[in-house]
Amino acid sequence: MKELNDFCSIIHQAGSQWDDALGWLEKLYSLMASGKGRFELEINGKDELDTLYSLLRAGRLDDDDRSYIKWRNRLNELYEEMAAQVEKFKKDKRFLKSSKRTAMKESTRKQKMKFKKIVKEADEGYDSDTPKIYVGTYAKYNNGSIDGKWITLPDYNTYEEFVDACRELHSDEDDPEFMVQDYENFPEKWYHEGGLPSEEEFDKINEYYLMDDGDKEAYEAFLDLNLWDDDSIETFQEKYEGHFNTPEDFGVHAVDTFGMPENAEYYIDYEAFGRDLTMDWHRGDEDEKDAEGEPEDPDYYYDSEGYQQMAYGSDAEVGEEYIDDVGLDGLGKDAMDFYFDYDQYGRELLMTDFAEQDGFIFSNY
């Protein structure tokens, strides 16, 4: 693709009627630039733009040429196509981190498989459920040996007992430099190859072990977000809102838990509500009599029995006026569920007051 400035210069020379096409090109290139380095825009129009460039270069497009309209409309289509892709990217970007994290974990897992198989087969005392580390030493490793043992952390009541057990395991060395060659069943954040877990990490691992399986998965998501200085289980429990499959599900939960937002009217589909409300009404007709025998007023709606209802207007105007009169509470839960945009509300909460990882949602405040 040619540079934007080059395009703009050529289009300016083509005549004033190209000003709006220039506007589309500027927006088009702006979107392409905004996506650089973050995601790839797929578009079926690059060849067409190159053709446009060539025609302009050759002076083969006049201001009154039919091709002008064709190219202007095509640029419009290309812009809308790319704008839709950018919007989709914005909505889905919070899930990109979890996808990247999953890929990294998979790569790490594959790298460890061969070693893990060896140490498991070598250690008859291995079990698959409890938090554990495989403790060797750098001296042995540098001499071509992976001699060591799986140490199960919950087997020890205190940190001192744990460290003593590791020293006893390698008592053939005067001052063993421990090498933790693998770990299982606790968050990666507390794993260090270059030494044993600290006393604080030892306590956290044992506390993590006592959690329910569902809470363990949620807690790992909490750690992956890494948004809080305090990553204790107590803070996790304070911040954790639950697991939700969609932003809409979370929006429903937020309304049920915290009540309607102060700007709830922003999320009401007034047009749909007004359309449904007036479905059985008709606009007043001066040639018709209302329920009291008077001519109907064209400025108002009337129901099927001829009773005056509301001032005539667009669906959105009628919906907004009605809800302003009765209040949101007057709508009832069924109507709110139908006309309140829980999906949009949930998405906006996730961009402001809450954070999401793998469907687990946490409060930011």
Q: pLDDT tens digit string along 289-312? A: 999 999 999 999 999 999 999 999
Give residue 254's pLDDT: 94
Give the end of a domain, one of 210, 229, 262: 210
User: Does 100 have pLDDT greater than 50?
Assistant: no
What average pLDDT does the segment 257-270 reach? Answer: 87
Task: Answer whether 63's CB lies under 8 Å from 17's CB.
Answer: yes
140-153 pLDDT, tens digit per residue, is: 999 999 899 999 99
The answer to whether residue 110 sits within a structural domain is no
pLDDT band at 331 (very low <50, low <70, confident <90, very high): confident
Q: What pLDDT is recorded for position 4?
A: 44
Tokens representing 49 are 């733009």
Q: Does residue 106 lie in a domain region?
A: no
> Mean of the pLDDT values across residues 117-129?
54
- Domain co-membership, 282 together with 334: yes
Assess whether pLDDT exceeds 80 at residue 120.
Answer: no
Domain membership of residue 115 (yes or no) is: no
Answer whether residue 251 shows pLDDT above 90. yes
Look-up: residue for tokens 């290309």?
78
Rounded Cα distance, 173 and 194, in Å: 17
User: What gap in Å lies between CA 74 and CA 59, rounded to an integer?
Assistant: 19
* Contact predicate 302/309, CB 8 Å: yes
Structural domain includes residue 238: no
User: 124-139: buried (b, 16+ CB within 10 Å) or exposed (e) per residue?
Assistant: eebeeebbbbbbbbee
With a cut of 80, say whether residue 43 has pLDDT above it.
Answer: no
Final residue of a structural domain among 55, 73, 94: 94
Task: Report yes or no on 113 lying in a domain.
Answer: no
Please give the angle made by the CA atoms of 80, 81 and 82, to the nearest 5 degrees: 95
How high is the pLDDT of residue 78? 62
| pLDDT value at 60 more than 70 | no
Q: 39 with 145, same domain?
A: no
Region of poorest pLDDT, from 81-95, 170-184, 190-204, 235-249: 81-95
Structurally, the chain folds into a number of domains equal to 3
Inside any domain, residue 225 = no
pLDDT at 170: 96
Name residue 355's amino acid: A
Judged against a pLDDT cut of 80, whether residue 270 lies above it is answered with yes
Q: pLDDT digit string (tens) for 19-36?
A: 455 555 555 555 555 444
The answer to whether residues 195 and 291 belong to one domain is no
The per-residue b/e assignment along 240-263, b for 16 or more CB within 10 angstroms, e otherwise, is bbebbeebbbbbbbbbeeeeeeee
Q: What is the pLDDT of residue 338?
A: 86
pLDDT of residue 327: 83
pLDDT of residue 329: 75
179 close to 141: Cβ distance less than 8 angstroms: yes
pLDDT of res. 263: 86
In a domain, 222, yes or no: no
Distance between CA atoms of 130 and 274, rounded to whole angstroms?
Answer: 59
Q: Residue 153 falls within a domain, yes or no?
A: yes
Q: Which residue has the higher pLDDT, 84 or 241?
A: 241
DSSP 95-154: GHHHHHHHHHHHHHHHHHHHHHHHHHHH-TT--SSS-EEEEEEHHHHHTT----EEEEGG
| pLDDT at site 1 | 40
Among 355, 274, 252, residue whose Cα is nearest residue 322: 274
Q: Please indicate, yes or no, whether residues 260 and 317 belong to a single structural domain of this protein.
A: yes
Exposure string for 152-161, b = 16+ CB within 10 A, e = fewer = bbeebeebee
Please report the pLDDT score of residue 337 as a whole number: 80
Range of the domain at 206: 123-210
